[in-house]
Amino acid sequence: MRVDILTLFPEIALAPLSESMMKRAQNAGLVEVAAHDLRDWATGKHRKTDDYLCGGGQGMLMKPEPIFAAIEELRTPDSRVILLTPQGQVFKQAMARELSNESHIIFLCGHYEGVDQRVIDELVDLELSIGDYVLTNGAIAAAVVTDAIVRLLPGALGDARSAVEESFSDPNLLEAPAYTKPIEFRGLKVPEILLSGHHAKIEKWRKERAIKRTRDNRPDLLGG
Ligand code: ADE
């Protein structure tokens, strides 16, 4: 897989992808990640990438010309062009799985008040938001989405089972609480059942606790 991130802040996008598992996935050749400074495609003395809103209004908008030039240079017939924006559909694990099958993703990172609509109409295949809040720029969101996709590539996780058993594999249930050693810490004990060796009872306990946690933290997943 290849990921190209088009942004005014390449360092912001790359920093979280340069450590730990993301670094290993790149070193192992599972994914090639590059971040590009949109200013490299801007022309004129000031290499302007933004301008005022037509029709008036607060803030600045990303201009179409550098974005068209950059994407026309970077894309191939197999590329999926994704705009990161709070106006997009909310990114979920199912979408991470779908995107992990792509061979080339180009992330276009929004900034200021967003991008000129002609970019979306002509170049963008999918608009994604990472949640119902507004970040200073889409480069942070591009790193988040890239991480979620790359860890699903075969060979990226040390233990392949962890991708299957974690939260959101069953999209309606969070994971059960988990404990490790020591068995007693500051008088706080690991639940007895987890030390019983009784696998059926442990599974039943985990399911009950997963349901309780979901009810407490994410009642929306249970439909209420
Ligand atoms: N840019 C600013 N906020 C964002 C969000 N929530 N998701 C994706 N891109 C963004």
**CATH class in words for 170-222:** mainly alpha
C-beta separation of 84 from 109 below 8 A: yes
Alpha-carbon distance 160 to 197, whole Å? 24
* Ligand 1 geometric centre to CA of 198 (Å): 45
C-beta separation of 123 from 66 below 8 A: no
The answer for residues whose C-beta is within 8 angstroms of residue 212's C-beta and 6 or more apart is none
Strand 126-129 versus strand 79-90 pairing type: parallel
Strand 188-189 versus strand 184-185 pairing type: antiparallel
| Residues carrying CATH 1.10.1270.20, the chain | 170-222
* Ligand 1 geometric centre to CA of 33 (Å): 20
- pLDDT-based confidence at 112, cuts 50/70/90? confident
Strand 32-37 versus strand 50-52 pairing type: unpaired
* Ligand 1 geometric centre to CA of 133 (Å): 7
| Residues carrying CATH 3.40.1280.10, the chain | 2-150
pLDDT in tens, 117-172: 999 999 999 999 999 999 999 999 999 999 999 999 999 987 655 665 565 567 78
Give me 60's structure tokens. 């600045």
**Percent share of the chain, pLDDT over 90:** 91
Closest by Cα among 34, 209, 170 to 92? 170
What pLDDT is attached to residue 28?
97
Coil, helix or strand at residue 138: helix
What pLDDT is attached to residue 77?
98
Tell me which residues have their CB closer than 6 angstroms to ligand 1: 84-86, 110, 129-131, 133-135, 138, 141
pLDDT in tens, 57-85: 999 999 999 999 999 999 999 999 999 99
C-beta separation of 194 from 188 below 8 A: no
| Closest ligand 1 atom number to CA of residue 132 | 6
Third-level CATH fold of 2-150: Alpha/beta knot (3.40.1280)
pTM of the full predicted structure? 0.94
* Ligand 1 geometric centre to CA of 19 (Å): 22
DSSP per position, 32-53: EEEEEEGGGG--TTTT--EEEP
